[in-house]
């Protein structure tokens, strides 16, 4: 899948200046690498340039562990990519140091699109507001009650993480 030049410019404008990592992993470049592990429903670890690189899938947010449908999302992503090389286009770098990438396997569709379309993840509109194809995929998943949309009002992961932090803060006092 290609991104429009306008979206690419917006994404580049959003990327902070990164010291050494910017030279190794500049936004807009793509690479193919073998998958080492799948830690959750929206992330993977690959082997690139002689080291393990953590990747966060662009534009989607899968349920967190302890949340409804988290295990199914992890199994689905794992079934798409396990033991196969993936091609990733670097979009950004997140605050945890992971590369945010649009990744593909043998299909012409990105893993993010497939996760959202089959109801294993939400479109993360906050970080991918111009990804209309992901928004439309989520609408289709909701309409067809696929995956996590089998429930009437599933809790998005960003709300789940926020409520978990509030509980931890409350108990720490």
Domain 5-172 annotated CATH 2.40.50.90: yes
Residue 172 gets which letter from DSSP?
A: H
Instruction: Name the active-site residue from 14, 48, 52, 64.
Output: 64
Residue among 98, 135, 151, 161 flagged as catalytic = 98
Q: What is the mean pLDDT of residues 61-69?
A: 94
48, 52, 56, 135: which is the annotated catalytic residue? Answer: 56
Q: Give the whole-angstrom CA distance, residue 91 versus residue 88.
A: 9
What are the pLDDT digits (tens) for 124-166? 999 999 999 999 999 999 999 999 999 998 999 999 988 765 5
- Does 71 qualify as catalytic in the annotation? no
In DSSP terms, which residues pair with 87 in a beta bridge? 32, 104
Say whether 56 is catalytic: yes
Is residue 62 within 8 Å of 77, Cβ to Cβ? yes
Q: How many helices (H) and strands (E) does the chain have?
A: 6, 7
Domain ranges across the chain = 5-172
How many angstroms separate the CA atoms of 88 and 2, rounded?
A: 12
Could you read off the pLDDT of 31-42 as tens digits, one per residue? 999 999 999 999
């Amino acid at each position: 899948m290609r991104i429009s030049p306008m979206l690419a410019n917006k994404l580049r404008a959003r990327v902070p200046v990164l010291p050494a990592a910017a030279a190794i992993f500049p936004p807009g470049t793509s690479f193919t690498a073998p998958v080492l592990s799948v830690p959750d429903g929206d992330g993977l670890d690959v082997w690139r340039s002689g080291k393990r690189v953590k990747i966060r899938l662009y534009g989607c947010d899968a349920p967190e562990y302890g949340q409804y449908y988290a295990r199914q999302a992890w199994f689905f992503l794992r079934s798409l990519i396990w033991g196969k090389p993936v091609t990733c286009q670097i979009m950004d770098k997140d605050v945890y140091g992971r590369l945010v990438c649009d990744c593909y396997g043998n299909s012409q569709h990105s893993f993010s699109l497939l996760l959202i379309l089959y109801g294993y993840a939400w479109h993360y509109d906050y970080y991918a507001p111009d990804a209309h194809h992901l928004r439309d995929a989520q609408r289709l998943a909701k309409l067809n009650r696929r995956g996590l949309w089998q429930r009437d009002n599933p809790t998005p992961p960003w709300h789940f993480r926020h409520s978990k932090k509030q509980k931890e803060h409350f108990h720490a006092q």
